[in-house]
A and B are shown apart, each in its own frame.
Chain A
Amino acid sequence: MKPFHSKLTAAFAVLALAGCQKKADTIKIGLAGVQTGSDGEIGAAPIRGSQIAIDEWNAKGGVLGKPIETVNRDDEGKPDQAVAVANELVSAQVCAVLGHFNSGCSLPASDIYNQAGILQLTPASTNPTITERGLPHLFRACGRDDQQGVVSAAFAFDSLKVTQVAILHDKTAYGQGLAEAFKKSFEAKGGKAVVFEGVGSDELDFRASIAALKAAGGQAVFWGGMYKQGGPLYKQMRQGDFKGALLGGDGIYETELIKTVGPKADSVFITFGPDFNGLPVAKPFLAAYKAKYGQEAGGYAIYGYDAANVLLLAIKKAGTTNADTVSKMLRSQEWPTLAGSISFDEKGDLKKANYVIWTIREGKFAVR
């Protein structure tokens, strides 16, 4: 075995050298997020969106005169796997990471990127804590759950005239954080949360909770979690003879939800970014996405596309991939995206979140 081992070591040494040399002629960007498992569908969308943006940049000659190389890693939506992915991307010597998807994954991974001096721009992680830890090289191209909570709570209280709400969540960093943000805003409005409980992220039978919230006098349900559970929850609310509305955050904005609840479900209300389907600037992207992946671009695909464009533009303007310089550049000006121009504050959050209420109309998501 010994000669073999030494051969192996030699081979690795050669590979490592090759890696270093390669670094000189390409710009490596890490793409990280959930792409398999139960969040696989929704999580793959921003990565595909980013990939399309990077392909477009490469077609125009890359950035800083070098082609862009992507290193795509799947974190399976699991925090421990996200740490492994982050370490892999660090050793692959990427200069920036677009990801992760789940807040529970972005949280631990961001510490690793930050220690390694790698810039991270997440297209989808909305938990407030992520940017509250003072990490200098961390940005997000989406809003925060406390901003979503305000919009959703105001809608429930003012437009739906709901005063007693039942709040269920999936016990993840995203779901529970969003549920707590909603509760805070809703109670600040003068409403009351009659039920607030975590059901776990693999539960699909909500009948016990629905019976309990009916008994407690809930008028609507807020779901802090993903579409995979939100759909069955809505169906079981109706089967359990509960007529109230289902409110939710960006985690249930996924066409798979409509397949579960049916095209006629009219009292599902979701906070998500502004409508891009009618925007002429988004047309080429939507067509490119459909041509490449054979399906309609979900809402998250556009976040991924925008995040990649903003990152590459900042690298281009900074003239370097150095995380400090690019971070300063990102904070210094407004950036054009398909969904309008965005700018970052000191923490790395969007200065202005642009959540609007969506609902299901004729089998499609539509702004209410």
Chain B
Amino acid sequence: MLETLVNGLSRGAIYALVALGYTMVYGILGMINFAHGEMFMLGMFASAFALGALGSAGLVSVGLTLPIAILVAMALSAGFGAMNERMAYRKLRGAHLLAPLTSAIGMSIVLQNFVMLSVTKGKKDFPQSVSAPLADTRWSIGPLNISALQVLILGSTFVLMIGLWFVIQRTRLGIALRAVAQDRTMASLCGMKVDHLITWAFMIGSALAAAAGTMVAMYQGVIRFDAGYTLGLKAFAAAVLGGIGNIPGAVLGGLLIGLAEDLTTSAVGADWKHTSSFALLILVLLLRPRGLLGERVADKV
């Protein structure tokens, strides 16, 4: 039972990290970024390549290479996030809502196929020298059995979320982002570079997704070009469940969906896990159409 809870929380923490990206972009633009799942996938591949490169450069200490790989993945995905915003969203700022949505789906297909054609159409194994020691180190505390990798996932998710909260609440950038989310025209009249800030929101979200991608890559051991699709869908559901546009909501939604899936698998069977998580989503939306924490519209970045 405890093992199931830990598994579910680890899975949920990943959903939460990716959901944050959806919710930030929605908070600022009022639009869904349908290429967000690809940022997650690019993060997986970027960290795998970074680890490969560091390994062939002679660096083997996991304590050093893993943080570097995560930072490389976050930076690369942030770059792709900025590119995505420029190409798929900025050009269509004044257009009908459906136009940027469609261009983002197009961007998602382009990125998937780019990785499929340039890297591999099958799977790629994540460097096991890094993930295996972490996954094989297990601690038993009473009935609780937890691996170092799960501690890392839960811990770094927590750190990243605190970091995001700090950026949004305490820095000039965060204040500006919240201002744009509240009233874009007013913010621009006050002299804020709105386009610039929107790019920042995409970059932060993409970087978080890339960090999540690295965790999942280590957790599953293999990576694929189409990994962003299902996970993106789940994370999107998590963002909606928590109340899209609301940051604590995205975290809560992610954890709930992760837990719902694993508890269902353990109680009823894996056949029902998607059914239960999406039934939960429908139920919540019926009772609270704005999501669990969705009523605080003023605070929506």
Contact = CB atoms under 8 A, between A and B. Distances in A.
B125 interface: yes
Given A38-B224, A205-B219, A235-B221, A198 B7 contact: no
A38 B226 contact: yes
B275 to A, nearest CB: 11
B7 A256 contact: no
A231 B123 CA distance: 11
Interface in B151-168: none
Given A207-B7, A260-B221, A215 B266 contact: yes
A38 B123 contact: yes
A208 B8 contact: yes
Contact of B4 (A198, A202, A208): A208
A259 B125 contact: yes
A36 interface: yes
A47 interface: no
B270 A239 contact: no
A209 interface: yes
B138 A241 contact: yes
A197 B270 contact: yes
A168 B270 contact: yes
B271 A197 contact: yes
Interface string A229-244: 0011001101111000
Contacts of A198: 270-271
A117 B205 CA distance: 55
Nearest to A261: B221
Given A38-B123, A260-B125, A204 B222 contact: yes
B215 to A, nearest CB: 11
A296 interface: no
B135 A239 contact: yes
Give the one of A171, A197, A198 with max B CB within 10 A.
A197
Contacts of B122: 38, 40-41, 228, 256
A48 B273 CA distance: 39
Contact of A232 (B3, B221, B274): B221
A262 B128 contact: yes
Contact of B274 (A196, A200, A228, A240): A200
A135 B174 CA distance: 66
Given A211-B4, A241-B138, A205 B121 contact: no
B11 interface: yes
B230 A208 contact: no
Contact of A36 (B116, B219, B220): B116
Interface string A7-48: 000000000000000000000000000001110110000000
Contacts of B3: 211, 240
B262 interface: yes
Main SS at interface, chain B? helix
Contact of A40 (B121, B125, B216, B274): B121
- Size class of the contact patch on chain A: 35 or more
Give the one of B3, B4, B123, B266 with max A CB within 10 A.
B123
Nearest to B269: A197
A199 interface: yes
A52 interface: no
Interface string A322-360: 000000000000000000000000000000000000000
A208 B273 contact: yes
A260 B222 contact: yes
Contacts of A208: 4, 7-8, 11, 261-262, 265-266, 270, 273
B266 A202 contact: no
A205 B220 contact: yes
Interface in B127-166: 128, 135-136, 138, 145, 147
Nearest to A228: B123
A212 B266 contact: yes
Nearest to B220: A204
Contacts of B11: 205, 208
A195 interface: yes
Interface string B176-209: 0000000000000000000000000000000000
Contacts of A240: 3
Given A208-B4, A239-B138, 4 more contacts: A197-B270, A204-B220, A240-B3, A260-B125
Interface of A: 36-38, 40-41, 168, 171, 195-200, 202-205, 207-209, 211-212, 215, 228, 231-232, 235-236, 238-241, 256, 259-260, 262
Which 10 pairs, one residue from A and one from B, show the smallest C-beta to C-beta distance? A208-B265, A204-B220, A208-B262, A197-B269, A40-B121, A41-B122, A197-B270, A207-B7, A199-B270, A211-B3
12 contacts: A37-B121, A197-B265, A199-B270, A208-B270, A211-B4, A212-B266, A212-B269, A228-B224, A236-B221, A239-B136, A239-B147, A260-B123
